[in-house]
Amino acid sequence: MKRILLTLMASISIIGCMDSISVAPKIAELGTVSNAMQLERGRAVYITSCSRCHNAIRITSITKSEWDGILPEMIEESELTISDSMAVTEYIQAVLNASASAAAQPSKSE
Ligand code: HEC
């Protein structure tokens, strides 16, 4: 029991310091998803391939329509395989959808 508590406290403090969580949220933070394996792969691509030339950019700092314009260019820059391109695209969409539905939550109580 004590151990669980310690682990919990440790992970809370890690979440507190690690900015990368909101730059590229973990799959577990995205709520219920049906394609977790694919999203994990997309996140790995995002963290490794998309931080070669610049830091990994906070996904939610770019709007969905901006991503639609930028992402195809950046996928080309990164010289990703087709399956990595699909995985990273799905991951970015999942993060944007999760943040959109989180933003929509408060208005549900209307
Ligand atoms: C070969 C180098 C390179 C790689 C790899 C790369 N980028 Fe970029 N990225 C750039 C450059 C250069 C710019 C700025 C010029 C521009 O907007 O075209 C940029 C700009 C961006 C921007 C716009 C930032 C802003 O604030 O407007 C986003 C978003 C972005 N990249 C995402 C990605 C993603 C996602 C990946 C992985 C799929 C990626 N980049 C991989 C070179 C790269």
Choose the residue to mutate in 54, 66, 80, 81 for probing ligand 1, maximizing ligand atoms within 8 Å of C-beta. 54
pTM of the entire structure?
Answer: 0.82
Domain ranges of the chain: 20-103
Q: Model confidence over 42-92: pLDDT tens digits?
A: 999 999 999 999 999 999 999 999 999 999 999 999 999 999 999 999 999
55 in contact with ligand 1, CB cutoff 6 A: no
85 in contact with ligand 1, CB cutoff 6 A: no
Distance CA 36, CA 40 (A): 6
**Closest residue CA from atom 42 of ligand 1:** 53
Distance CA 74, CA 29 (A): 25
Any idea what DSSP says for residue 33?
Answer: -
C-alpha 33 to ligand 1 mean position (Å): 27
pLDDT confidence of residue 6: 62
pLDDT confidence of residue 20: 54
- Counting residues of the chain whose pLDDT is more than 90, the rounded percentage is 65
Residue type, 67: W
C-alpha 3 to ligand 1 mean position (Å): 42
C-beta of residue 49 within 8 angstroms of C-beta of residue 84: yes
> What are the Cα distances from residue 47, in Å, to 52, 54, 68, 72, 105?
9, 11, 19, 17, 28
pLDDT band at 7 (very low <50, low <70, confident <90, very high): low
Distance CA 88, CA 50 (A): 9
